[in-house]
């Protein structure tokens, strides 16, 4: 069995995905006390290390096959002080340190889409090269741009006796893998070079085309939910144009992938939440105060949810509330947000609603984590 350590664990979305892939967790390293409470509710308490990663001793652990996590990486400005990995907000240096000390077979890291923006390109390349050559550390008096230059020379020369990882990354949309949420994230995967393994990201399994086909061509979507055909009320000018193109593209054939999963697909069978205690689910409690205003419109019931955000209100866009066909809106309950992030029904998220939403919004969708890690574990076990 493959053993793992998870850093910047948060509520444990990535961890749960790895667990479902057959990975055995040896430790969770997380600084936030409430996230640690959540982890202790779902895993053995002794595995949870409520610690600053800067002082965590990785040398206490042996035979670690996978390091996983979501290292925070704040915007990096060339016009700033050029501190690079000395910037206290950038946690990638500690992820690299963990790799250097534990030499795992592989690592999986997740981060926001903004990591790929044009203004961040040089520093992102710097991150990838440091992950590729974790032993080629920055010298005490070396600026990060000089370190980048040295790493580029090592990389292009193609010859090194130091620890090396073959690193790939991809911007993925969780909705394309069956998660009922449009959530774009950068996934970085590295495999130790001496293992001589080949791996690629799993192919997407779901698509917007197939969802629109099932809603506006075959109407199967509405039949499946045993509700009146609502395609006409949902048929905006944009969707009408997409549907016309779909009919021309596929004619009598069905789009090849499964339909995107919608909010209704995910939580439509739940009873409406009530204020106060819920007899059925303790985390399915109505929260009042949801309002629509420009830039805060909620997630339509018959589309994948907008990206659930770590903020309580989820602005901009109203990501943490749903919008019904009649125009009414309400906030997601903790249970609903948890299910949209594809956590198991019995997974416990601790804290009041705003705190629970922060943890859920920061998590990796469990299903996405499972699909990627399952593919990687299969290759590592081969």
User: The domain that contains 17 carries what CATH number?
Assistant: 3.40.50.150
Average pLDDT score over the chain: 90
pLDDT of residue 12: 97
CB atoms within 10 A of CB 228: 8
> Is 266 noted as a catalytic residue in this protein?
no
pTM of the model: 0.93
Given the residues 36, 73, 266, 323, select the one marked as catalytic: 73
What percentage of the chain carries pLDDT values higher than 90? Answer: 73
pLDDT exceeds cutoff 70 at 365: yes
Mean pLDDT of 5-11: 96
User: Do 199 and 102 share a domain, yes or no?
Assistant: yes
| Domain identity same for 196 and 234 | no
State the CATH number of the domain containing residue 248. Answer: 3.90.120
pLDDT of residue 205: 98
Question: Does residue 321 carry a pLDDT above 80?
Answer: yes
pLDDT of 76 over the 60 cut: no
Q: Are residues 129 and 70 in the same domain?
A: yes
- Return d(Cα 371, Cα 365) in angstroms, integer: 10
Q: What is the pLDDT of residue 77?
A: 33
Statement to judge: residues 279 and 354 lie in one domain: yes
Do residue 323 and residue 230 come from a single domain? yes
Q: In terms of domains, do 356 and 300 share one?
A: yes
CA 220 to chain centre: 30
Confidence (pLDDT) at 163: 93
Whether pLDDT at 80 is above 90: no
At 231, the pLDDT band (50, 70, 90 cuts) reads confident
Q: Tokens standing for 269?
A: 């069978």
Confidence of residue 293 (pLDDT cuts 50, 70, 90): confident
Q: Which residue has the higher pLDDT, 234 or 330?
A: 330
pLDDT band at 315 (very low <50, low <70, confident <90, very high): low
**Binning pLDDT at 50, 70 and 90, where does residue 45 land?**
very high
Could you tell me which of 332, 311, 308 has the C-alpha nearest to residue 321?
332
- Spatial separation of the C-alpha atoms in residues 6 and 20, rounded to whole Å: 15
Same domain, 190 and 315: no
pLDDT at residue 312 in the model: 56
Distance CA 376, CA 380 (A): 6
Pair 275, 148 in one domain: no
pLDDT at 153 over 50: yes
Q: How many domains does the chain have?
A: 2
Question: What's residue 305's pLDDT?
Answer: 96
First to last CA, the chain: 12
Checking if the pLDDT of 113 tops 70, the result is yes
Of 200-214, 242-256, 368-382, which range is least confident?
Answer: 242-256
pLDDT (tens digit, 9 = 90+) per residue, 299-308? Answer: 999 999 999 9
Confidence of residue 317 (pLDDT cuts 50, 70, 90): low
Considering the domain architecture, whether residues 148 and 109 belong to the same structural domain is answered as: yes
- Please indicate, yes or no, whether residues 28 and 165 belong to a single structural domain of this protein: yes
Per-residue confidence (pLDDT) for residue 160, from 0 to 100: 80
State the residue for tokens 């892939």.
21
Instruction: Tell whether 195 and 218 lie within a shared domain.
Output: no
Checking if the pLDDT of 78 tops 50, the result is no
Co-location of 166 and 248 in the same domain: no
Q: Do residues 345 and 280 make contact, with C-beta atoms less than 8 angstroms apart? A: no
By residue range, what is the domain housing residue 288? 207-362
């Amino acid at each position: 069995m493959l053993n793992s350590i998870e850093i910047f664990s948060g509520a444990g979305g990535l961890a749960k995905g790895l667990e479902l892939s057959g990975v055995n967790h040896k430790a969770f390293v997380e600084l936030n006390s409430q996230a640690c409470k959540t982890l202790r509710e779902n895993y053995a308490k002794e595995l949870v290390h409520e610690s600053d990663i800067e002082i965590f001793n990785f040398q206490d652990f042996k035979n670690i096959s996978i390091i996983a996590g979501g290292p925070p990486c704040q915007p990096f400005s060339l016009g700033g002080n050029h501190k690079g990995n000395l910037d206290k907000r950038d946690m990638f240096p500690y992820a690299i340190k963990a790799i250097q000390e534990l030499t795992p077979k592989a690592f999986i890291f997740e981060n926001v889409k903004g990591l790929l923006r044009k203004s961040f390109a040089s520093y992102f390349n710097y991150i990838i090269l440091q992950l590729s050559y974790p032993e080629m550390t920055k010298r005490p008096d070396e600026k990060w741009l000089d370190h980048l230059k040295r790493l580029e020379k090592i990389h292009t020369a193609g010859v090194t006796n130091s620890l090396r990882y073959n690193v790939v990354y991809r911007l993925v949309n969780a909705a394309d893998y069956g998660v009922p949420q449009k959530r774009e994230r950068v996934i970085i995967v590295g495999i130790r070079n001496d293992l001589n393994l080949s791996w690629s990201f799993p192919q997407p399994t779901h698509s917007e085309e197939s969802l629109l086909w099932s809603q506006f061509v075959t109407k199967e979507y509405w039949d499946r939910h045993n509700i009146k055909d609502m395609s006409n009320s949902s048929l905006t000018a944009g969707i009408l144009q997409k549907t016309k193109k779909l009919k021309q593209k596929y004619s009598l054939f069905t789009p090849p992938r499964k339909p995107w999963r919608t909010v209704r697909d995910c939580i439509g069978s739940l009873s409406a939440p009530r204020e106060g205690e819920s007899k059925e689910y303790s985390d399915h409690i109505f929260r009042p105060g949801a309002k629509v205003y420009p830039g805060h419109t909620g997630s339509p019931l018959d589309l994948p949810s907008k990206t659930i955000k770590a903020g309580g209100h989820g602005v901009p866009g109203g990501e943490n509330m749903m919008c019904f066909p009649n125009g009414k809106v309400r906030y997601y309950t903790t249970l609903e947000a948890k299910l949209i992030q594809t956590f198991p029904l019995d997974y416990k998220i601790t804290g009041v609603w705003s705190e629970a939403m922060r943890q859920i919004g920061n998590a990796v969708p469990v299903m996405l984590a499972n699909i990627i890690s399952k593919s990687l574990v299969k290759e590592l076990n081969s």
